[in-house]
Structure 1
């Protein structure tokens, strides 16, 4: 495994350029720059995080447009995702302007949402409120709140703000700069994921992983006569 020594300045330059020109022609001419300046350092970062956080899946540069046909064909960022024991996503993403980390669930599925609200109604909800209060201002992503109170919940419930949530994800970002070309990003990502650990542990215990949706088999077309 190669040691992580940071991203060269060309990494954010490349990401800015592919944001402006997300074409197959640009990618074909510049893909070696992506491999050297963007992808290789991301793989090295993932490798150094793995002993503490488990496998870190590095995002592919090509966008899967099967369900998003209007999406640009190539990612305008790079990143990696680890998964906690209970299914929380721990992510790191480098864009042309910032390095960001997240921890939690951006969106709960139906079963997770039921478990989350049940827990928030009880004493576990008080614990979560305390954990979030200790995280620091600006760390909690707004997620997907409901317009009003969930059905059957009074609008004056002491934890109505939490009960209105449809996801819970901690987020922090730092502007891009010369620090990216050092080992500092590794220390920062590691520290931020550790700081999120109490909230991740709460989600693992009380919410758990999303239900796995098995793909439906495609119908078999009869052979032509």
Structure 2
């Protein structure tokens, strides 16, 4: 059993009705078509990848101009090291899988840049990135607009050096297998594609 397409519809409706009254009226639907199926998916993936954390549906609005109380997606993450992990999400856009470095601290940013500047580890990351992009995986993340301080803008790995986070992701929309027992196998296959990137990040950012 996968994730019902009604989960996609749920978030499309939530985007138009992001208030407590609508949420209260639809909370049992959220449990049935979003939370419980996502938990089942994570449970099926746990033996190979580890235990996942499902994110809470409520937004932290304390420091945001947007006071909408509820997130318009449901995500889950399996951490492999601090700030690095596998990710899966359902929203009004459908299913998204991802993996990488999403929660940086200054020490990690410095370690990441040193590793990318190193010819051996930097070339390894460039090769991983090229392999992922060749398989239709998008590399995203927070990036500097220019070169990091002290780095030659003409450096052959400048695009990687500009990253302050680095994530591989694929938007699957509403695939034929979303609602089926095949869901866990499909997500697992995608996460395995991301594994070389996570292993590179784990080895260099978690020291």
- Fold conserved (TM > 0.5)? yes
Give the aligned partner of residue 134 of structure 1.
131
Give the aligned partner of residue 174 of structure 2.
176
Give the aligned partner of residue 141 of structure 2.
143
| 8 Å contact kept, 1:16–1:96 | yes
How many matched pairs?
Answer: 205
Unaligned runs of 5+ residues in structure 1 are: 210-225
Q: Residue by residue, what CA displacement relative to the aligned partner does 1:69-117 show, whole Å, maximum 9, x if unpaired?
A: 6341112211211101464121100012220011111353211111011
Determine the C-alpha separation between the residues in 1 that align with 2:111 and 2:160: 13
Q: Which has the higher strand share?
A: 2
Determine the C-alpha separation between the residues in 1 that align with 2:26 and 2:100: 34
Q: Could you say what secondary structure the match of 2:45 adopts?
A: helix
Calculate the aligned-residue CA RMSD, in Å: 1.8
1:190 corresponds, among 174, 188, 191, to 188
Q: Could you say what secondary structure the match of 1:179 adopts?
A: coil
| 8 Å contact kept, 1:107–1:168 | no
Q: Residue by residue, what CA displacement relative to the aligned partner does 1:111-166 show, whole Å, maximum 9, x if unpaired?
A: 11110111111111011111111112452333222222222221222212211221
Alignment of 1:72-221 (within 5 A): 72-85=68-81, 87-106=83-102, 108-122=104-118, 123-137=120-134, 138-208=136-206
Rg larger for: 1
Determine the C-alpha separation between the residues in 1 that align with 2:17 and 2:110: 43
Alignment of 1:8-87 (within 5 A): 8-68=4-64, 70-85=66-81, 87=83
- 1:38 Cα deviation from its structure 2 partner: 1.1
Q: Could you say what secondary structure the match of 2:133 adopts?
A: coil
Q: Residue by residue, what CA displacement relative to the aligned partner does 1:11-48 show, whole Å, maximum 9, x if unpaired?
A: 22211111110111111111111111111101111111
Determine the C-alpha separation between the residues in 2 that align with 1:109 and 1:103: 18
User: 1:18 and 1:134, CA in 2 relative to 1: closer, same or farther beyond 3 A?
Assistant: same
Q: Could you say what secondary structure the match of 1:108 adopts?
A: coil
Alignment TM-score, normalising by the size of structure 1: 0.84
Determine the C-alpha separation between the residues in 2 that align with 1:118 and 1:87: 18
Q: Which has the higher helix share?
A: 2
Q: Could you say what secondary structure the match of 1:26 adopts?
A: helix
User: 1:75 and 1:143, CA in 2 relative to 1: closer, same or farther beyond 3 A?
Assistant: same
User: 1:8 and 1:144, CA in 2 relative to 1: closer, same or farther beyond 3 A?
Assistant: closer
Q: Could you say what secondary structure the match of 1:171 adopts?
A: strand
Alignment TM-score, normalising by the size of structure 2: 0.91
